[in-house]
Chain A
Amino acid sequence: MTEAVAAVEIEGVTKRFGEVVAVDDIDLAIGDGEFFALLGPSGCGKTTTLRMIAGLDLPTEGRLRIFGEEVGMAPPDRRPVNTVFQAYALFPHMTVRQNIEFGLRMRGIKGPELGRRVAEATGMVRLAGMEERRPDQLSGGQQQRVALARALVNQPKVLLLDEPLGALDLKLRQEMQQELKALQREVGITFVFVTHDQEEALAMSERIGVMSEGRLLQVGTPREIYDRPASRFVADFIGRTNILEASVESAGTVRLDSGALIDAEASTPEGSRVAVSLRPERVRLQPRGTAAAEGASLDGEVRDITYLGHAVVYEVAAGPVSVEVRVEGEVGEPFAAGDEVTVAWDRGAAAVVAD
Chain B
Amino acid sequence: MSGVVEVGLGRRTRRGLAVWAWVVFAFLYVPIFVLVVFSFNASSRVNIWGGFSFQWYGEALRNDVITSAIRVSLIVALVSTVVSMVLGTAVALALDRYRFRGRRALDGTVYLPIVIPDITMAVMLLVFFAEAFKFIDSFGPRLTLGISTVALSHIAFNISFVCVVVRARLDQFDRTLEEAARDLYATGWQTFRRVTLPLIMPGVAAGGLLALTLSLDDVVISAFVSGPGSTTLPVYVFSSIRRGVTPELNAISTLMLAASIALVLGSLALQRRRASASQQTQVL
Contacts and interface: CB of A to CB of B under 8 A. Distances in A.
Contacts, number: 65
Nearest to A156: B183
A150 interface: yes
B153 to A, nearest CB: 35
Contact of A137 (B174, B180, B282): B282
Main secondary structure on chain B at its contact with chain A?
helix
Given A85-B176, A87-B176, A132-B281, A93 B199 contact: yes
Contacts of B176: 85-87, 89
B36 interface: no
Given A106-B190, A134-B281, A137-B282, A150 B184 contact: yes
Interface string A74-98: 0111000111011101111100000
B177 A106 contact: no
B195 interface: yes
B179 A106 contact: no
A54 B183 contact: yes
A12 interface: no
A99 B262 CA distance: 36
A137 B281 CA distance: 9
Contact of B185 (A86, A87, A103, A137): A103
A55 B284 CA distance: 39
A106 B281 contact: no
B182 A56 contact: yes
A113 to B, nearest CB: 16
Contacts of B122: none
Nearest to A103: B184
B223 interface: no
B278 interface: yes
A170 B185 CA distance: 33
B183 A76 contact: yes
Residue in A87, A102, A134 whose Cβ sees the most chain B Cβ within 10 Å: A102
Given A77-B185, A89-B174, A103-B185, A132 B180 contact: no
Interface in B176-213: 176-177, 179-187, 190, 194-195, 198-199
Nearest to B174: A89
Given A56-B183, A77-B187, A102-B186, 13 more contacts: A77-B186, A82-B183, A82-B184, A89-B174, A89-B179, A92-B177, A102-B181, A102-B184, A106-B184, A106-B185, A107-B185, A134-B281, A150-B184
Interface of A: 54-56, 75-77, 81-83, 85-87, 89-93, 102-103, 106-107, 132-134, 137, 150-151, 154
Interface of B: 174, 176-177, 179-187, 190, 194-195, 198-199, 278, 281-282, 284
Q: Lowest 3 CB-CB distances: which A-B pairs, in order?
A: A103-B184, A89-B180, A106-B185
